[in-house]
């Protein structure tokens, strides 16, 4: 849950790489899922429903709040729409007597797709990069580098490694994958 003062700071900051306003007042617009996808594929971000692009708070219709929340959560958990599915929640805030729905989208560990398309964030735009092989390659490379097991740590000497844990990791790996390359490796 975000503090109300931090919420207002984000709204005053305006739209950008990690902030998106949706003027949706009665329903979730389809383009919001492009934004969720691009935030997951880039640096994460904050989505505000009931706020115009210029930061003016319109508010969400009180009679539509619960249905909007339900529609949002249902869609992002539908593998045919968002893959892999996301587990996000919408938070409800009252600002100046108006309801604003807020969603925080964390950085994803893998590449996300919306309706089979890959989106990335550039400034305040959601860009469909599916047909751009170089951009898709760069996105996969960026995602792969986020896993610590894929990084080389040259400053850590081999003597710092616990051989008993490496042997244990090999045994655990053997349970799941009989012919994994780690099994035959030496320390």
What is the DSSP secondary-structure string of 24-86?
-SSS--TTHHHHHHHHHHTT-EEEEETB-TTS-B----TTTHHHHHHHHHHHHT-TTTEES--
pTM of the predicted protein model = 0.77
pLDDT over 70 (residue 147):
no
CB of 101 within 8 A of CB of 90?
yes
- Per-residue confidence band for 162, with pLDDT thresholds at 50, 70 and 90: confident
User: How far apart (Å, rounded) are the C-alpha atoms in residues 73 and 95?
Assistant: 23
Question: What's the whole-number average pLDDT of the chain?
Answer: 90
Distance of CA 169 to the CA centre of its chain: 30
Q: Please determine, for residue 68, whether its predicted confidence score (pLDDT) is greater than 60.
A: yes
Segment 123-129 mean pLDDT: 96
Instruction: Output 71 or 147, whichever has higher pLDDT.
Output: 71
Domain positions in the chain are: 4-144, 152-184
Residue with tokens 């964390």: 106
Beta carbons of 77 and 88 less than 8 angstroms apart: no
Give me the pLDDT at residue 151, please. 64
Q: Give pLDDT, residue 145.
A: 67
The answer to which of 41-45, 49-53, 166-170, 173-177 has the lowest mean pLDDT is: 173-177
Note the pLDDT of residue 148.
Answer: 55
Task: Give residue 173's pLDDT.
Answer: 80
Architecture per CATH, 4-144: 2-Layer Sandwich (3.30)
């Amino acid at each position: 849950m975000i503090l109300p003062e931090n919420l207002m700071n984000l709204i005053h900051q305006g739209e950008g790489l990690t902030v998106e306003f949706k003027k949706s007042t009665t329903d979730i617009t389809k383009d919001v899922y492009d934004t969720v996808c691009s935030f997951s594929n880039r640096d994460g971000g904050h989505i505000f429903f009931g706020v115009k692009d210029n930061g003016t708070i319109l508010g969400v219709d009180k009679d539509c709040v619960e249905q909007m929340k339900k529609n949002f959560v249902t869609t992002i958990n539908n593998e045919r729409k968002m893959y892999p599915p996301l587990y996000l929640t919408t938070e409800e805030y009252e600002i100046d007597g108006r309801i604003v729905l807020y969603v925080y989208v964390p950085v994803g560990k893998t590449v996300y797709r919306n309706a089979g398309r890959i989106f990335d964030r550039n400034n305040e735009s959601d860009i469909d990069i599916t047909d751009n092989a170089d951009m898709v390659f760069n996105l996969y490379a960026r995602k792969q580098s986020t896993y610590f097991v894929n990084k080389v740590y040259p400053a850590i000497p081999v003597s710092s490694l616990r051989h008993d844990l490496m042997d244990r990791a090999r045994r655990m790996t053997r349970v799941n994958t009989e012919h994994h390359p780690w099994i035959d490796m030496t320390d």
